[in-house]
Amino acid sequence: MKLENSKGTKDFGPEEKIVREEVISSLKSVFELYGFSPLETPVLTRYELFESKYSIGSEMLKETFSLKDQGDRKLGLRFDLTVPLAKYVGLNPELKMPFKRYEIGRTFRDGPVKTGRMREFWQCDVDIVGASSMLADAEILAVVNSAFNQLGLSIVIKLSNRKFLEGVLDFSGVNKDKRFDAIISIDKLEKLGENEVIKEMGQKGIPDDVVTKIMSIINMKGSNKELIERLKGLIKSGIGVEGLKEVEEIISYCNSFGVESLEFSPSLARGLAYYTGPVYEVFLKDSDIKISAAAGGRYDKMIGAFLGVGKEYPATGIAFGLEVITEALKKKKKFEKKSVTQAFIIPIKTGQESIKITEELRKAGIKTEMDLMSRGISKNLAYANSLNIPFTVIIGEQELKENKVKLRDMKTGKEELLSVKDVVQKLKQ
């Protein structure tokens, strides 16, 4: 048997896991600052949820891992954290609205493996359920802005709207049965380029003159204000006008929130079937990572469809990609090598006494390790240094006679003879 990971999965050793936990901790602090509460949902989901009309759509269904349990029931590994949220809200009708939740957990997609895109990956989601106002969407983008600022990463937030895109398709004369096909192709513009998208739409049976009209709109450039004013003169269908108005509202609210680097991007589509209004993607500035670091939008029909109530149930949110963010921070060297351990105890023929001192430090809240291998001082110092443990505590017989221990700063090499009480005070500074 060849010992290796499954394709598209990876292990995270202690050093990398510490970085990931710091990113998660940073995101959580921002989520909670904005009043979002934690939620945890199962990884296994009834497959029929993914097949619902307003769920992920047939294109994404192809990337959903499926399996059967011993009762021959078809199940799926969750594709994202949005469908499980919709299910949770449906199962808990007593929830007070708006329901603001965050969830951080593993998701799975059986798609192509490439840089920043794995088959098992973590998403960090924030969503607001029950609020139809564009203020909710703007608050989601304010969370995004604050979260990346706190991480020290520069971003651009791209914004569009599915209703606006419907207006573009009305303007272009796309047949109703080809509309989602067109949106799927538009969504690939950044990845494939204009020529490939034009070719793909042609292969899907969309006439050349219609494709030309679509491209004339989605390729428009300019400031947010310039684009909206130009598009108001072209997009005349009710749904398209409504979409443009929503984009305008979000930009206005975001200005009040102090959200920077927000760009109206007419070509932004988002390929998931459940989006019904605003959609957004977040990209890193000055980075060779070209895939999005966060993405989301409004999905007002999914929860109502699951509940069978026949009406819209407003919801909006975004998912942060933990792998992409962590990779970006590593590339910027934002994290130096770290250890969870604060102090490493080196006993010199003082085993029993050293155990007691180790426990004393732990009871004081200091993360402490002790030599378990009976190694000499030099080997223990090398071990502590290799793990980037900031301090070692050398406990010899002579030191104990004086009720002292030797504290060594591993970065500077400076050593001090201190009482255990003084060691605690110094390490807690």
pLDDT tens for 20-62 read 999 999 999 999 999 999 999 999 999 988 877 555 566 678 8
What element of type H or E holds 306? helix 302-307
Rounded to an integer, the average pLDDT of 223-241 is 93
**Number of domains present in the structure of the chain:** 2
What element of type H or E holds 88? helix 82-91
- Say whether both 83 and 110 belong to one domain: yes
Token representation of residue 254: 């975001």
- Say whether both 286 and 245 belong to one domain: yes
**pLDDT band, residue 253 (cuts 50/70/90):** very high
The three-state secondary structure class of 416 is strand
pLDDT for position 310: 67
Mean pLDDT of the chain: 91
How many Å from the N-terminal Cα to the C-terminal Cα in the chain? 51
Domain boundary among 299, 331, 363: 331
Distances (CA, A) of 378 to 77, 344, 369, 394, 405: 49, 13, 17, 11, 17
> Strand (E) positions, 162-220?
none
pLDDT for position 202: 86
Between CA 223 and CA 203 the distance in angstroms is 33
Domain boundary among 296, 331, 366: 331
Q: Evaluate whether residue 5 is within a structural domain.
A: no
- Say whether both 286 and 368 belong to one domain: no
Q: Evaluate whether residue 8 is within a structural domain.
A: no
Between CA 203 and CA 257 the distance in angstroms is 43
Between CA 95 and CA 116 the distance in angstroms is 36
- Say whether both 124 and 101 belong to one domain: yes
Q: Which of 113-117, 285-289, 374-378 has the weakest average pLDDT?
A: 113-117
Q: Evaluate whether residue 403 is within a structural domain.
A: yes
How many Å separate Cα 130 from the centre of its chain? 22
Percent of the chain with pLDDT over 90: 65
Report pTM: 0.87
Rounded to an integer, the average pLDDT of 283-287 is 89
pLDDT for position 340: 92
pLDDT for position 53: 58
- Say whether both 279 and 377 belong to one domain: no
| CATH code, 248 | 3.30.930.10
The parent domain of residue 407 ranges over 343-424
* Residue 124, pLDDT above cutoff 70: yes
Distances (CA, A) of 49 to 163, 253, 310, 316, 365: 24, 34, 16, 19, 46
- Say whether both 127 and 88 belong to one domain: yes
Candidates 159, 209, 207, 168; CA nearest to 186 is: 168
User: Which residues does 4 contact at the CB level (< 8 Å), separation at least 6?
Assistant: none
Between CA 302 and CA 176 the distance in angstroms is 21
